[in-house]
Each structure stands twice: as structure tokens, then as C-alpha cells.
């Protein structure tokens, strides 16, 4: 019984490590220009679009005031996007 518990725990840790590594394969720096202000943020994601969207959300949270401005900011295209190695 104890062996089964240890093996199960090892499998769970392996799955968690693998899934964590998959989510950080793509890293991007995104700069947003909103209302004359510029902010650049770096984020990682499982896909390039996930990483870019996460960085864009970070930028907009720093630049916008309130939900309405955040929605407008997130809906606008980034001023620059580059992959970080």
C-alpha cells in the first residue's frame, strides 16, 4: 500500500513539472502605447499568442484606469512585440 502511494506521488510531481515547463516555452516582450504613455512587459505562455496576450494584459493594467479604459487598451494592437530567448 505504501509503495503505491509513493509511486502515485512521484507520477503526480512528474505531471506537474511537465505541465509547468510546457506553459513557459514562449517568452515575449510586448510594448503598448496608450494615451501617450508607453509600457513594456515580458510574459511567458504555452503558445506565442498566450504569451503576447499576457504581456499585453500586464501593460494595459499599468496604463489604463478602470475597466472601460482597460478594455480599449487590450483591444488595441501592441506598438512592438519581440520574442525573448
Q: What is the mean pLDDT of residues 46-70?
A: 94
User: What is the rounded CA–CA span in Å between residue 57 and residue 67?
Assistant: 12
Give the model confidence (pLDDT) of 14-46 as tens digits: 888 777 666 568 999 999 999 999 999 999 988
What rounded mean pLDDT belongs to the chain?
Answer: 90
Residue with cell 504569451: 51
Q: Which of 77, 45, 83, 46 is nearest to 59 (CA)?
A: 77
* Local structure of residue 15 (DSSP, 8 states): H
Using an 8 Å Cβ cutoff, are 77 and 52 in contact? no
Q: What is the pLDDT of residue 2?
A: 87
Q: What is the pLDDT of residue 24?
A: 64
For the chain, the domains span 25-83
In this predicted structure, the answer to whether residue 77 has a pLDDT above a threshold of 80 is yes
Amino acid at each position: 500500500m505504501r509503495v503505491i502511494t509513493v509511486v502515485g506521488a512521484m507520477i503526480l510531481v512528474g505531471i506537474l513539472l511537465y505541465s509547468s515547463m510546457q506553459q513557459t516555452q514562449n517568452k515575449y516582450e510586448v510594448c503598448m502605447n496608450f494615451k501617450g504613455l508607453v509600457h513594456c512587459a515580458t510574459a511567458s505562455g504555452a503558445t506565442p499568442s498566450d504569451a503576447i496576450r499576457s504581456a499585453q494584459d500586464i501593460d494595459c493594467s499599468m496604463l489604463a484606469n478602470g475597466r472601460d479604459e482597460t478594455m480599449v487598451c487590450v483591444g488595441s494592437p501592441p506598438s512592438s512585440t519581440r520574442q525573448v530567448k
